[in-house]
Amino acid sequence: MIRAMKEGIHPKYYPNAKVICSCGATWMTGSTVEVLRTDVCSSCHPFFTGEQRIVDTAGQVDRYQKRMKRQSLFEADQKSRDAMASRQQEEMLLNQQIEAMELSDRVRKTLMDSGIVRIGDLVEKLEAGDQELLALGGFGPKALEEVKERLQMIGLIPDEG
């Protein structure tokens, strides 16, 4: 038994509706709209053409790229600020008196008697070589080890393994 469609509730059907793509391709299909417009079709879609083309109808890709550029600029600026803060912190450490390192009394007195008052002075001597410090009167390998350990603890010289 075939049922008939109810009258007056269905939209008009166009068996030869025209489809127009933004690339200019046209074809006929059946639809309830006489003319259809589309942004992409099989003639211009990257999947079918093999092209790496971005279809951007609302500027979304451009907004995304601008957002990514702002993000990378922010990250670079943040990295720069972090590096500046790190340098300032290191400078503050280098300008502190060697008493701040909490060295043993004998080592601290030996360094101060030799004119090494700031942590920066001590780091400079150490950068010139271990022999610079070992040449000081009363400063031996144990004292050198203690100094290096303290400087490693405050992050002024890297760990030696």
Note the pLDDT of residue 27: 94
Q: What is the pLDDT of residues 6-26, one digit of tens each?
A: 788 888 899 999 999 998 999
**pLDDT greater at residue 17 or residue 119:** 17
Note the pLDDT of residue 157: 78
Structure tokens at 131: 């022999």
Structure confidence at residue 160 as a pLDDT band (50, 70, 90): low
DSSP the chain: -PPPPPTTSSPPPEEEEEEEETTS-EEEEEESSSEEEES--TTT-HHHH-------SSSHHHHHHHHHHHHHHHHHHHHHHHHHHHHHHHHHHHHSBGGGG---HHHHHHHHHTT--BHHHHHHHHHH-HHHHHTSTT--HHHHHHHHHHHHHTTSS----
Residues 125 and 131 sit within 8 Å (Cβ to Cβ): no
Cα–Cα nearest to 23, from 5, 44, 48, 47: 44
- 133 pLDDT higher than 60: yes
Q: What is the pLDDT of residues 49-85, one digit of tens each?
A: 777 666 666 778 888 889 999 999 999 999 999 999 9
The model scores a pTM over 0.85: no
CA distance 116 to 129: 15
Structure tokens at 138: 């009363």
